[in-house]
Amino acid sequence: MHDQALPKGGDGTLVERVMAVVSQRIAGRTLAPGAKLPSLRSFAETMGVSKSTVVEAYDRLAAEGVIQARRGSGFYVAGHAPPFSVADLGPRLERAVDPFWVSRQSLDAGEGVLKPGCGWLPADWLPEEGMRRALRALSRAPAETLADYGTPLGLAPLRQVLSRRMALHSVDAAPDQILLTESGTQALDLVCRFLVEPGDAVLVDDPCYFNFHALLRAHRVRIVSVPYTPNGPDTALFEQVLAQERPRLYITNSALHNPTGASLSPVVAHRVLKLAEQFGLTIVEDDIFADFEPEPAPRLAAFDGLDRVVQIGSFSKSLSASVRCGYIAARPGWIEGLIDHKIAASFGTGRLAAELVLSVLRDGSYRKYMEGLRARLARAMSESATRLKAIGITPWIEPRGGMFLWCALPEGLDAAVIARQLLAEDIVLAPGNVYSLSQSASRFLRFNVAQSNDPRLFSALNRAMAAAARRGAAAQIALA
């Protein structure tokens, strides 16, 4: 209130000049919508005018609807702050590389639309028969199973199965250290609610799963990133960003990283954990692609013993995205606090979804299904790589497994331009900058090899790339 003097001289009466000062503060957001204005007396003092001048200025601003009088409480800036749009929060991206846009396109795609950019398997690649058997079994379950909220931790036999599955990756998590959630995304949301505050720095890989950006924006944190290499995050830059930005959390996939398909090497895993300890960092290891691994890669949670590492996961990729069920495995002392957040945010978890997942995982056919799926994905991976290379699109690495192939377009081409063009032909691509906080992946695309077997895709890509190259050449000639 003391840094703003009444504009000297100029047009208008004293009242109008006081009104102008208030209006400027509102326009410049020094006074936000809903904020209380200074009292008549203090504002009169600050401005060096009489109280009656401020009274008249406030009254006229109220008559104009700029501010509002509240009985016995003073004057307030009219209106409320606009709703909190997560889409508007980040850097202004063109819609084609906006993470929300890509999610929406993929989720909304009707029949006949090709979705090589989407992040899940086609329905007929999933354990359909196992699901049908599970639904039939559930139709005969006790009434409580069909009716009641689950317990706060979630279905005990499923937590036992998860504990055994984690042991296969050398992660030692007792069933009581595992909390079921509505989804892998909700698992991450609860961890963020518990561990970060608005304004904290949170570290992600560049590139990383685009919804990490969306979720973190919704938590009003400062997102920072570290370049991802074929062996994990660049450890020199990792150390640098830890020292400079002091992030509270690091969110990553250790095995079959999304979108690159890379996995953490033991050396990098060890270095990351050491730096985490040095800088007091907590790591969230999203292990959603565990079932797709041909042979287990190092897990941060295994080396660390769930001390600084929290592991999350779900069944949306390997079993069904229609049945929502995820989990958090964390140090025992954190489980109670996480349960409170879960009850606050969603009360119970779906007992029915957990029963279905348990039923499918226990079904004798599941292991065989997963073996078949891995083999099928390996073939699709190899075929997609061959076909993409044939039209000049180069895989960044050959992933050990999973469904993603992170590929570079030829020099000079922009993936967002190609994506926009293919969308007009009902093909949803995933352009690289959707995954990149630094917006440095404009030449990259993520292909889902299970959704990339239609020849239409490759011919459309070929045409779009040729057209873009022609436009580029024409532009160069025009410049010459």
Report the site for its own copies in 316-335 (rule: CB under 8 A).
316, 320-324, 334
Identify the residue among 84, 164, 386, 459 touching its own copies (CB under 8 A): 84
Whichever of 163 and 359 has its CB closer to its own copies, that residue is 359
178, containing H or E segment: strand 178-181
Identify the residue among 58, 75, 120, 315 touching its own copies (CB under 8 A): 120
Whichever of 206 and 245 has its CB closer to its own copies, that residue is 245
State how far the Cα of 406 lies from the Cα of 397, in Å rounded to an integer. Answer: 7
State how far the Cα of 169 lies from the Cα of 166, in Å rounded to an integer. Answer: 5
Mapping DSSP to helix (H, G, I), strand (E, B) and coil, where does residue 115 land? coil
Identify the residue among 248, 299, 443, 446 touching its own copies (CB under 8 A): 248
Which letter does DSSP use for residue 173 in this model? -
Token pair for residue 169? 């990756």
Token pair for residue 183? 């989804």
Give the type of residue at 194: F
> Is residue 7 near its own copies by the rule CB under 8 A?
no
Sign of the Cα pseudo-torsion (108, 109, 115, 121, in order): positive
> Is residue 80 near its own copies by the rule CB under 8 A?
yes
Q: Maximum CA pair distance of the chain?
A: 87
> Is residue 76 near its own copies by the rule CB under 8 A?
yes
> Is residue 235 near its own copies by the rule CB under 8 A?
no
> Is residue 91 near its own copies by the rule CB under 8 A?
no
- We find the least distance from the C-beta atom of residue 236 to its own copies, in angstroms, to be 12
- Dump strand ranges (E) for 207-335: 222-229, 232-233, 249-252, 282-286, 309-314, 326-329
Cα-based distances in Å from 282 to 175, 242, 253, 418? 21, 11, 14, 38
Whichever of 45 and 307 has its CB closer to its own copies, that residue is 307
Whether 239 contacts 258, CB under 8 Å:
no
Contacts with its own copies in 299-318 (CB under 8 A)? 316
Give the type of residue at 72: G
Give the type of residue at 334: W
Whichever of 318 and 421 has its CB closer to its own copies, that residue is 318
- We find the least distance from the C-beta atom of residue 219 to its own copies, in angstroms, to be 9
Token pair for residue 458? 């490759």
- We find the least distance from the C-beta atom of residue 480 to its own copies, in angstroms, to be 44
> Is residue 146 near its own copies by the rule CB under 8 A?
yes
Identify the residue among 140, 168, 295, 478 touching its own copies (CB under 8 A): 140
How many residues of this chain interact with its own copies, rule: CB under 8 A?
95
Whichever of 421 and 451 has its CB closer to its own copies, that residue is 451
Which letter does DSSP use for residue 35 in this model? P
- We find the least distance from the C-beta atom of residue 410 to its own copies, in angstroms, to be 32
Contacts with its own copies in 344-403 (CB under 8 A)? 344-353, 356
State how far the Cα of 246 lies from the Cα of 263, in Å rounded to an integer. Answer: 25
Contacts with its own copies in 250-279 (CB under 8 A)? 278-279
Identify the residue among 90, 230, 337, 472 touching its own copies (CB under 8 A): 337
Contacts with its own copies in 392-411 (CB under 8 A)? none
